[in-house]
Structure 1
Amino acid sequence: MATILHIAFVDQWRAALEAGSYRWSTRGKSLDDGATFIHASRPEQVAMTANFVYDDVQEPLCLLVIDTGRLVSALCEEPVGDQLFPHIYGPLNLDAVVDVQPYERGADGLWPAVSPQAVS
């Protein structure tokens, strides 16, 4: 099973469970607001993304662990800077989310690295 991760606010994930799909692209942007894809990361990209996009967020976040084989929407690898990031073009179907893990800042105040083993 190939997995990717999406950083989410806990309340937005809970709302998605009631709505039937997840539509948040990234912090403050949703597919309903004109975003064209949902940002995702591989485990080694999560901390970098979190410390850039969610640097001032104090509340705990969660990591949606997504089985790419279950995605209904198209998945594309696209360059952002010097790396390729997975992007989901359309809503995230809930049955593709195989785990939801809490994601909290470390003692040093930074969002921590995520090991591939922690999400497999």
Structure 2
Amino acid sequence: MIYHITTRKRWEEALAKGSYEPQSLKEEGFIHASHEEQIPGVLERYYAGQNDLIKLIIDPEKLSSPLIFEWSPSTQDTFPHIYGPINIEAVIDTHEP
């Protein structure tokens, strides 16, 4: 499984639309995702102090968009990047992070 952090509001909008397309997809060309052990660092670096967050649990086998694992020089780690929208069927569960 791979994971993505978002707000509950953005996830509810995605459910209504039928796919999840955050701003990073438009700005960077992909959606940032993480392995489970990377979630604490992601929360600390990008979401400190934010409320109403939700963790999407994504089954890579169900993604309709390409998934590429890429090296991040800033964190010295490899992260999953989704090159297109996340189809709702690929999100098998959600939890509070």
TM interval, shorter chain, is over 0.9
Q: For 2:5 and 2:45, locate their aligned partners in 1 and report how far apart those are by CA, in whole Å.
A: 12
RMSD: 1.1
**Aligned: 1:9 with 2:7:** yes
Q: Quick one: which amino acid aligns to residue 15 of structure 1?
A: E
Paired residue secondary structure (2:96): strand
Q: For 1:77 and 1:91, locate their aligned partners in 2 and report how far apart those are by CA, in whole Å.
A: 16
1:37 aligned partner:
30
Structure 1 or 2, whichever has the larger Rg, is 1
Which structure has the higher relative contact order (CA within 8 Å, separation 6+)? 2
2:41 aligned partner:
48
| More helix, by proportion | 2
Q: Which runs of 5+ in 2 are unaligned?
A: none
Deviation at 1:72, TM superposition (A): 0.5
Percent identical: 40
* Number of residue pairs matched by the alignment: 95
Q: Quick one: which amino acid aligns to residue 45 of structure 1?
A: Q
- Mapping of 1:59-74 within 5 angstroms? 59-74=51-66
Q: For 2:24 and 2:69, locate their aligned partners in 1 and report how far apart those are by CA, in whole Å.
A: 19
